[in-house]
Amino acid sequence: MNIHSKGSHQACEITVNGEVVEVPDDGLTLLDVLREQLGVRSVKDGCSPQGQCGCCTVLVDGQPRVACVTPAKRVAGREITTLDGLNADVREAWAQAFASTGASQCGFCTPGIICRFVGLQTKGGDHSDRSAAARALSAHLCRCTGWQPILDAWQAYPVQRQGGTELSQRCADLSQRDSEPGSQSDSDLRAAIEGRSPQSTGVATALGEGGFADDTAPADALVAVRAGAECEAADSDGWVVAATAHEARRLACQIPGRRTTASFEPPLEVPPGDWDLTLRTSWVDPGYLETDAAWCEPGGEPASPLGNGGAFGAKLDSPVTAAARRLAEQHGRAVRVLWSRRDSAALGAKRPPIAAGVNLGGSGHIVVARTEGITEAIKGYAPNFSVTEVDLPGPPTSSRLRAAGWAEAAVLLAAVRNESNWITCPGAGSARATVTNEGAISVTVRAGQPLDETVLRSYCSGAAHMAYSWVLSESLGVDHDGTVHDLTVRSFGIVGASAMPQVNIEIIDEDTQPVNGSDAVFAAVAAAVWINRGLPPVWPAVIASGGASSQT
């Protein structure tokens, strides 16, 4: 097992990307070793130690393995290959395949997915078999792309390796734009419009080099994590600070969290009235994969938790930045502030639950958890709706999440008439959607000048996936006291690659000012899926309770 003594501690040797390294055998996971000790930033932490998102996937003797649940001592003497350790031409070809198909938006999940695909390829995976690739992604989550572009990348890889003209030219263009300081390509512009925050779309992004906050922190920064209930080492604000992430988490005594087996009904009742259609929804987690993180030097500005993407509006008011600034001043040195997946599930902003009734004439009444700006969002789309905000125990909510409030109103109005007409995002683009007899989703979108159709198509695919999940399987278990019980990323109900139907997207070039189109797609697909399923009065429509559906 190659374990030997080192001073008063045991240590073990592992081979990482061809180099033998010695690590202490003191309970570290393989993820701890790779990120914290060796500084391998392509290996991402999206849920540790839950082993549920796939972002930390590496190859162990050529086979994919999730690093956050793999004790380092169990891989003693074995060969660990991260994305960085792949042959340069292989790594570049995969990155180009992902970039050229729009398979990487924020780029947080792609390093692990590329490692998974390399393992599948080693087993003789057929690049024409999308279903096999989708099954291989069962250990992974992607919130941005809706899976379809990732499966396109699987098929594109051999073409890219052989120098396919169209793909190679697109990648050459992206690489050139990456190398031009201060330049913003059409693809980056489109990504920023859709993500509502600055984003990069080049080959480097597919390699996980999007500039995530925790990837850019100084190596000698202290680490702060939130304390668990039994912790005695926390400060007055509930933070535990230590020299390393492993030590901070050990002192914090935080239990990783689990998925509840209990069932929870939507928390609000439909308002009284003679309604033609009603709807009740539950708490919904935005499901971003990079959990909140920031770091700060004394006297400096904190690194933004929006490293390369907007987290669908969920991190705009994240408390980690203020914590990083305060702790850096207090300790007189750089401090990294890290939320765990449990933290983001329990404390991160959610889509507020609603209960609503609507009539054919277009009048309606929505009861919604009290949320700043939500009434304005609803009435801005549906001025004939009454809105009642109520105090509701539970996690924080935000009207800044994707299309919050107005999308619910748009879906209700479209569904009560059982029509798939154009839905227009306030101040932005339009979309319409239908579900075919075969179950595929057809989308048409108008977003002004497309700028980059591949990027726009990717965002629309992601929005369609998010809407499909929202209607059918997404909810969060929250009890009457407001305590969140679904504390794992898999308990959010995000539909996996194998369960996601085909999404066909038509883009209409209006040759006008480019505007956001994916938010309109989100609302249009939600309406189409709800209509297709017969307008059940409770979402999620597959399992009306906390936790994921069997589709995931």
Minimum mean pLDDT range among 366-375, 411-420, 445-454: 411-420
**48 and 135 housed in the same domain:** no
For residue 295, the cross-strand partners are 336
**171 and 121 housed in the same domain:** yes
Tell whether 484 is covered by a domain.
yes
3-state secondary structure of 121: helix
In this predicted structure, the answer to whether residue 171 has a pLDDT above a threshold of 90 is: no
Identify which of 208, 205, 121 has the alpha carbon closest to the alpha carbon of residue 157: 121
Tell whether 215 is covered by a domain.
no
Spatial distance between the Cα atoms of 203 and 200, rounded to a whole number of angstroms:
9
**97 and 67 housed in the same domain:** no
Tell whether 278 is covered by a domain.
no
**101 and 177 housed in the same domain:** yes
Given pLDDT bands bounded at 50, 70 and 90, which one contains residue 257? confident
Question: Mind giving me the DSSP string for 194-212?
Answer: HHTS----SHHHHTT-S--
Given pLDDT bands bounded at 50, 70 and 90, which one contains residue 172? low
**70 and 130 housed in the same domain:** no
Tell whether 479 is covered by a domain.
yes
What is the mean predicted confidence (pLDDT) over 242-265?
A: 90
Spatial distance between the Cα atoms of 166 and 332, rounded to a whole number of angstroms:
52
Strand 385-390 vs strand 79-81: parallel, antiparallel, or unpaired?
unpaired
CB 527 within 8 A of CB 420: yes
**397 and 422 housed in the same domain:** yes
Tell whether 158 is covered by a domain.
yes
> Where does 179-287 have alpha helices with state H?
186-195, 203-206, 245-252
* H or E segment to which residue 260 belongs: none
CATH of the domain at 113: 1.10.150.120
Q: 41, 67, 84 — which closes off a domain?
A: 84
Minimum mean pLDDT range among 285-289, 308-312, 532-536, 548-552: 548-552
Tell whether 408 is covered by a domain.
yes
**65 and 97 housed in the same domain:** no
In this predicted structure, the answer to whether residue 160 has a pLDDT above a threshold of 90 is: no
Spatial distance between the Cα atoms of 290 and 109, rounded to a whole number of angstroms:
9
Burial (CB count within 10 angstroms: exposed 0-12, middle 13-18, buried 19+), residue 194: buried
Q: What is the pTM of this model?
A: 0.93
Axis crossing angle, helix 88-101 with helix 148-161, rounded to the nearest 10: 130
For residue 337, the cross-strand partners are 224, 294
For residue 446, the cross-strand partners are 430, 508
Express each pLDDT in 195-245 by its tens digit: 999 889 989 999 999 999 999 999 999 999 999 888 888 999 999 999 999
Spatial distance between the Cα atoms of 345 and 53, rounded to a whole number of angstroms:
14
Q: Which residues of 97-106 are buried (b: 16+ CB within 10 A; e: fewer)?
A: bbbbbbbbbb
Backbone Cα Rg of the chain: 23
Q: 281, 309, 339 — which closes off a domain?
A: 339
Spatial distance between the Cα atoms of 240 and 234, rounded to a whole number of angstroms:
5
Question: Mind giving me the DSSP string for 44-79?
Answer: --SSTTS--S-TTEEEETTEEEEGGGSBGGGGTTSE
Sign of torsion, CA 480 485 487 491? negative
**202 and 245 housed in the same domain:** no
HSE-up of 108 (CA within 13 Å, CB side)?
Answer: 31
**194 and 236 housed in the same domain:** no
Q: 84, 107, 122 — which closes off a domain?
A: 84
Number of domains in the chain: 4
What is the mean predicted confidence (pLDDT) over 16-28?
A: 89
pLDDT for 182 equals 56
Q: Hunting for tokens 């290996």 — which residue is that?
A: 43
**34 and 163 housed in the same domain:** no
CB 30 within 8 A of CB 72: yes
**366 and 308 housed in the same domain:** no
Tell whether 538 is covered by a domain.
no
CATH of the domain at 410: 3.30.365
Mean pLDDT of the chain: 92
CATH of the domain at 19: 3.10.20.30
**92 and 182 housed in the same domain:** yes
In this predicted structure, the answer to whether residue 342 has a pLDDT above a threshold of 90 is: yes
Burial (CB count within 10 angstroms: exposed 0-12, middle 13-18, buried 19+), residue 273: middle
CB 551 within 8 A of CB 496: yes
Tell whether 261 is covered by a domain.
no
Spatial distance between the Cα atoms of 96 and 114, rounded to a whole number of angstroms:
11
Range of the domain at 246: 222-255+292-339
pLDDT for 431 equals 98
Look up residue 219 and give its amino acid.
A
In this predicted structure, the answer to whether residue 165 has a pLDDT above a threshold of 80 is: no
Q: What percent of the chain has pLDDT over 70?
A: 93
